[in-house]
Structures are given as C-alpha cells and as structure tokens.
Amino acid sequence: MADGTQVVQERGELSGRMGTTEGSEGAFIEVDGVEKVFDVRRRKGLLRRERHQVRAVDSISFTVARGEMVGYIGPNGAGKSTTIKMLTGILTPSGGRLRVAGIDPSRERTRLAHRIGVVFGQRTTLWWDLPLIDSYKLMHRMYRIPDARYRENLARLVELLDLGDLLEVPVRQLSLGQRMRGDIAAALLHDPEVLYLDEPTIGLDVVSKTRVREFLRQVNAERATTVLLTTHDLQDIEQVCSRVMVIDHGRLVYDGALAGLHEVGEGERTLVVDLEREFPPVEVPAPARVVRVDGPRQWVAFPASEPAAGLVTRIAERYPLVDLSVREPDIEAVIAQMYAERAGRAPTQSS
C-alpha cells in the first residue's frame, strides 16, 4: 500500500462507528441474500403498456476476503453487471445486505469510491476527446490523490501497462486494447483496495488479453488488491483467479475452485482434425463421435477425462491427417451443461 497509515486510520474509524471488525481475515465484501428487481414497462400495441418485473439478481450470498481474486461468470443476462453495480453503489439492492469494506455502497457511494476501482469493458470512464494524461490529471483532483502518491502510481501504472507512448493521444484514437489499459490505470490511480472489472477482456486480441491478465496478477501480488472479475473467457479465470462464482438467472449456482467447475461441467473436449481432403465422418470408437464436418475439417467430441492421444493415433493411421488441435469446452458450454445437471437441485447457497 502506498499509504498504509491512512487506510488503517480509516478502518479504525469505521470499526468505531459501525461496530464492525473487518480484520485481515474477515470478509472484505459481504453479500447476504441480495436481490435486485427491475420494474420494466413494455409497450404492448399502441396504447397498452404492460408492467412486469425482472429479477436480475435473486437472493445471492457470498463473501470475498481481502486479497482474493474471484472470477464471476455466467451467460448473458445472468446478473453479473447488476451485481457489480450494486457493489459500487450505482444501483441500490431491492433486498438483502451488502457491505464493502464495512460500507453500505448505495448509502455512502462517494466514501466508498475512494476505496474501490471499477472498469466496465463496454464503457470508458476516460474523457473521449482529451489526451489520456488529461483524464488522469482530472482523476488526481477528483479523488484528491496526494501529489507524491499520484506521481508514483502514475509512473508505475504507465510502466506496467506500457502507456508511455499513449499519454498524449486522445482517447478516441486509441485501439480497444490500448483504451482498456488506459481505463485500468485510471481505476487504480487512487490505490483502491478492491478492483471490479466487468468484462475487461471483451473484444481484445490475445496479446492484449495476456497483458491485462499479467498485470492483474502483478497488482494483486504487490498490493494485495482484491479483484472481482466478470468475463466470458474461461482463460481469464484460469490465469487470474483462484476461485470462481457462477451466476445464472440471478442465482449463484457455483462457488468454488475452477478445478471443481471443470469436474461438474466439463463432459467433453473436441478434437479438430484437418485431413488432406474431404472425407465422410471419420470412424472413431464410441463414445467419441464426429459432431461436425466442414470440407476437409472434422470435429470429434470425446470424453474430457481421456487423453486425446489414442484418438489421434487411430485417425492418423487410417486417414491422411494434416493438422489437429484440441479444444476445451467454451465457457457457455461449461455453464450450460453444469446448469442442466444442477436443474432441480437447490442452488449452493439457497435460502
């Protein structure tokens, strides 16, 4: 921490005032039976309007300890962004109890803002027409970051995120990957204790994704920054997070190690083979089977628990094999399968 004393004082004041004792082991983020219901009005015909409710987050509970890196995944519309918005105080929960660093986010949003950083992948917090550095200068003032700390953090973030050549470039001229790095730096200038990232790698190329992941690991290692990361990319989780939470239809359906998620959800892998020319579906021993043929390329699904070697040998012996790769199931498939298997059972933390 760049300024440990201040943080300690703030916490002391907190426990005095609110009677909480948020120790280093205690939960830094506490979510207890939290719900968010949206009232939506839909036009039905010319004059008629229909009101209905969307239960975006449905009684979820979890805690995150200081310094943890947690992945938050689920299909589109599952409630991930709504959860993040409640954790930042942008949205007020319809029910349940929420605390971040002992603070009720929607009640004391400004006070909390000094202790959290947020990155929304689909939206920038940077000033579009200004050079990147100007956004940082504005944040320096907005967050009243002490000069020395601002300079130190800026130098460090510019180096780690390789922003040196970009500081004078207007944000609208940055590529998506550059802009994302710029946004992440902006979220960390004031030394937040927790960083929420909502789809920070969406649309990024492989190199940019790798950079962002490396950076997150580094920040966490150096400063014990708590990280909550929503993503569609299972590799983000694999490379960054030790724990993953899965939300579907507003309910938490899994909370645990990524390895456990694989066991629950990962039934099959896919061997993709390129043959010299078109063939009818290759013959493979069950339960492996061809699931798709496209010209000389064929997709063979096989149990994830088995090595691919036997299958590869068998195909190579009988067909003119040119190239191959093995695909892990994508995140949507993992979740879909896991949820299907869990359907009918109570969610992990049902009330």
Ligand X SMILES: Nc1ncnc2c1ncn2[C@@H]1O[C@H](COP(=O)(O)OP(=O)(O)O)[C@@H](O)[C@H]1O
Give the Cβ contact number of residue 293 at 10 Å.
15
Binding to ligand X by CB under 6 A, coded x per residue (else -) over 82-101, reads x-------------------
Angstrom distances, CA of residue 77 to CA of 74, 128, 199, 238, 253: 8, 28, 13, 22, 15
Alpha-carbon gap, residue 176 to 119, rounded angstroms: 13
Cα separation, 313 vs 319, in Å, equals 10
DSSP letter at 131 equals B
Q: Is 76 in the site for ligand X (CB under 6 A)?
A: yes
Given the DSSP bridges, would you call strands 289-294 and 297-303 parallel, antiparallel or unpaired?
A: antiparallel
CA distance 339 to 332: 10
Among 12, 23, 26, 77, binds ligand X (CB under 6 A): 77
Residue 40 interacting with ligand X (CB under 6 A): yes
Question: Using the rule CB under 5 A, is 201 a contact of Mg ion?
Answer: no
CB of 342 to ligand X, least distance (A): 18
Q: Pick the closer one to ligand X by CB: 78 or 158.
A: 78
CA dist 79 and 119 (Å) reads: 17
- Interface characters, 44-73, with ligand X (x: CB under 6 A): ----------x-x-----------------
One residue of 80, 140, 269, 342 binding ligand X per CB under 6 A: 80
We find the least distance from the C-beta atom of residue 234 to Mg ion, in angstroms, to be: 16
Q: Of the two residues 78 and 194, which places its CB atom closer to Mg ion in the complex?
A: 78
Cβ 38 to ligand X shortest distance, Å: 3
* R_g of the chain, CA atoms, integer Å: 24
| Residue 93, preceding peptide bond in cis (omega within 30° of 0) | no
Q: ∠ at Cα 116 (134, 142), nearest 5°?
A: 35
Residue nearest to Mg ion (CB): 81
CA distance 242 to 310: 32
Nearer to ligand X, 20 or 349 (CB): 349
CB atoms inside a 10 Å sphere around CB 303: 11
- Alpha carbon of 213 to those of 109, 204, 342: distances in Å? 28, 12, 30
Using CB under 5 A, which of the segments 9-17, 75-83, 86-94, 154-162 binds Mg ion? 75-83
Which of Mg ion, ligand X, none has residue 82 at its interface (CB below 5 to 8 Å by kind)?
A: ligand X
Under the binding rule (CB under 5 A), the answer on residue 81 touching Mg ion is: yes
Strand partners, 327: 270
Residue 231 lies near Mg ion (rule: CB under 5 A): no
What residue 124 binds from ligand X, Mg ion, none (CB within 5 to 8 A, per partner kind)?
Answer: none
Q: How far is the CB of 60 from Mg ion (least distance, A)?
A: 15
Q: Are strands 69-73 and 243-248 parallel, antiparallel or unpaired?
A: parallel
Quick check: 82 binds Mg ion (CB under 5 A)? no
In this chain, which of 38, 221, 285, 305 binds ligand X, going by CB under 6 A? 38
**Which residue, 102 or 250, has its beta carbon nearer to Mg ion?**
250
Pick the piece of the chain touching ligand X (CB under 6 A) from 75-83, 152-160, 184-192, 262-270.
75-83
> Which residues contact ligand X (rule: CB under 6 A)?
38, 40, 54, 56, 74, 76-82
